[in-house]
Amino acid sequence: MREPLNKKVQEIQPSGIRKFFDIVSEMDDVLSLGVGEPDFDTPWHIRDEGIYSLEKGRTFYTSNSGLKELRQEICNYLERRCHVSYNLENVFITVGGSEAIDLAIRAMIDPGDEVIIPQPCYVSYLPCTILADGVPVAIYLKEENQFRLTAEELEAAITPKSKVLILPFPNNPTGAIMSREDLEAIREVILRHDLFVISDEIYSELTYSGEHVTIASLPDMKERTILINGFSKAYAMTGWRLGYAAAPKHILDQMVKIHQFAIMCAPTTSQYAAIEALRNGDRDVAKMRESYDQRRRFLMTTFKEMGIDCFEPYGAFYVFPNISRFGLSSDEFATRLLQEERVAVVPGTAFGDCGEGFLRISYAYSLDALKKALERMDRFIKKLEQEKA
Applying CB under 8 A, which residues contact other proteins? 15, 17, 20-21, 24-25, 30, 32, 34-37, 39, 122-124, 172, 290, 294-295, 297-298, 301-302, 344, 346, 350, 367, 371
* Burial of 171 (C-beta count, 10 Å sphere; 0-12/13-18/19+): buried
| Cβ–Cβ < 8 Å for 144, 322 | no
Pairing of strands 91-94, 114-119: unpaired
Least Å from the CB of residue 306 to other proteins: 13
CA distance linking residue 186 with residue 84, whole number of Å: 19
**CB-wise, 73 or 201, nearer to other proteins?**
201
Residues facing residue 167 across a β-bridge: 199
Q: Nearest 5°: CA angle at 125, between 67 and 38? A: 60
Least Å from the CB of residue 354 to other proteins: 17
Q: Which amino acid is at 332?
A: E
CA distance linking residue 196 with residue 205, whole number of Å: 23
Least Å from the CB of residue 69 to other proteins: 30
**CB-wise, 6 or 301, nearer to other proteins?**
301
Least Å from the CB of residue 70 to other proteins: 26
| Residue of 246, 256, 251, 258 lying closest to 216 (CA atoms) | 246
CA distance linking residue 41 with residue 30, whole number of Å: 22
Least Å from the CB of residue 382 to other proteins: 20
CA distance linking residue 89 with residue 80, whole number of Å: 18
Least Å from the CB of residue 123 to other proteins: 5
Q: Which amino acid is at 246?
A: A
**CB-wise, 65 or 172, nearer to other proteins?**
172
CA distance linking residue 217 with residue 170, whole number of Å: 16
| Cβ–Cβ < 8 Å for 141, 149 | yes
Q: Quick check: bond before 321 cis, omega within 30?
A: no
Q: Quick check: bond before 4 cis, omega within 30?
A: no
Least Å from the CB of residue 343 to other proteins: 11
3-state SS assignment for residue 382: helix
CB atoms within 10 A of CB 297: 13
Least Å from the CB of residue 37 to other proteins: 6
**CB-wise, 44 or 223, nearer to other proteins?**
44
Least Å from the CB of residue 326 to other proteins: 21
What b/e readout covers 54-63, taking b as 16+ CB neighbours within 10 angstroms?
eeeeeeeebe
**CB-wise, 272 or 311, nearer to other proteins?**
311
CA distance linking residue 289 with residue 47, whole number of Å: 19
CA distance linking residue 250 with residue 104, whole number of Å: 12
**CB-wise, 39 or 113, nearer to other proteins?**
39
Q: Write phi, then psi, for 266 (nearest 5 degrees).
A: -70, 160
**CB-wise, 13 or 159, nearer to other proteins?**
13
**CB-wise, 122 or 169, nearer to other proteins?**
122
**CB-wise, 159 or 294, nearer to other proteins?**
294
Least Å from the CB of residue 74 to other proteins: 24
CA distance linking residue 179 with residue 198, whole number of Å: 17
Least Å from the CB of residue 302 to other proteins: 7
**CB-wise, 144 or 368, nearer to other proteins?**
368
**CB-wise, 94 or 225, nearer to other proteins?**
94
